[in-house]
Amino acid sequence: MAHSRAEERAMSRALELALRGPRSRNPQVGALILSPDGEILAEGWHRGAGTAHAEVDALSHLPEGGAAGATAIVTLEPCNHTGRTGPCAEALIRAGVARVVYALDDPGEVSGGGGRRLRAAGVDVESGVLADEALALIGPWLTATRLGRPHVTVKWAQSLDGRAAAADGTSQWITGPASRADVHARRAQADAIVVGTGTVLADDPALTARDGGTLHPEQPVPVVIGARETPAGAAVRAHPHEPLFYDTHDLAFVLADLWDHGLHRVFVEGGPTLASAFMAAGYADRILAYVAPVILGGPRVALTDIGAPSIDRALRLRVTDRIALGDDTLYVAEPASSGSAPEEGDR
Ligand code: AOF
Ligand code: ZN
């Protein structure tokens, strides 16, 4: 049967609950148990790898038999595997739940398939409810799980004529305060923030996520790629997290290693050479271009060689958001065709 208004409202609530969970290796997931007449019986959310999944957390608040005939609302397809916990599909069947409504399929090779398992047990299952909202929350986790490598966001700030700096290299500040605040908020949602040694030497960035003068409670791990030495007094060395240094240009290796460190949401901040290398390798899953109403001219373009020598090889994008930030415009975009998985032998 098609979902009700009450179920859609409950999904909206489940997405709020999901946000209470930490950013971690695991997705943020929320769940609700509804009585047959739509009353909320219990709420739950996932508190990070190794702890109860959202459905199991919600069920734990009910007495034995308390969920019989009920509807479970979950932001992600209930898992079908026994990992550190689970499987949730079994737990829901055992609790006597009659109906399960979820937003997104779990793409995991072993964790996925819970919907099928539930149907096979006679549970009424509906998926896709508030899928776009759920995608906004865990889209990067889905991409990373599907591709088996971190989700990569490539960000840059540019003048209207596509320059990242003036001819003499000065680049502070092309974009305005609203753009910079937006960057910091997005940094806080990443697991790692990546720059090239050129940027470290030229700009000495702190690579922290800040709200005004104060540090955001969640900080991405700073990552520096390149052969040149990062000076002892560099600001990045004072970051709350120990930086990771990679003396290599092999981005497949770097991404695989970040993955192994549990860093699955990567934010690439430049400079132009490194950003271009990520683009050229097909690793840019999301692009954030902050465009300021200023003309700089000169040779310092925002991107260099992305491996597209002719117009037919250009990287076509789908703009998913266009946001006014003061006088600047932020373009949020994705490649029109989706990103690449690690090649055989890379991992
Ligand atoms: C759910 N509900 O709340 C979450 C799910 O190692 P584990 O046991 O924690 O399993 C992690 C995997 O389970 C994770 O990669 C994802 O596929 C799924 N997450 N599933 O049914 C939840 N957090
Ligand atoms: Zn589960």
What are the residue boundaries of the structural domains of the chain, listed by start?
5-143, 150-335
pLDDT digit string, tens, across residues 13-42 = 999 999 999 877 789 999 999 999 899 999
pLDDT score, position 318: 95
Q: In the Cβ-directed half-sphere of 132, how many Cα atoms lie within 13 Å?
A: 1
For a ligand 1 pocket test, name from 17, 29, 76, 79 the mutation site with the most ligand atoms within 8 angstroms of its C-beta.
79
CA dihedral 159, 164, 169, 173 (to 10 degrees): 60
Listed residues: CB within 5 A of ion ligand 2: 53, 79, 86, 88
β-bridge mates for residue 196, sequence order: 225
Structure tokens at 63: 């007495």
Q: Do domains 5-143 and 150-335 have the same CATH topology?
A: no
83 C-alpha vs ligand 2 centroid, how far in Å? 8
pLDDT score, position 341: 52
Helices marked H in 34-96: 54-59, 88-94
Which numeric CATH code is attached to 150-335?
3.40.430.10
154 C-alpha vs ligand 1 centroid, how far in Å? 27
Which numeric CATH code is attached to 5-143?
3.40.140.10
Question: d(Cα 135, Cα 125) in Å, to the nearest integer?
Answer: 19
pLDDT score, position 344: 45
Enumerate residue ranges in the chain where pLDDT < 70. Answer: 338-347
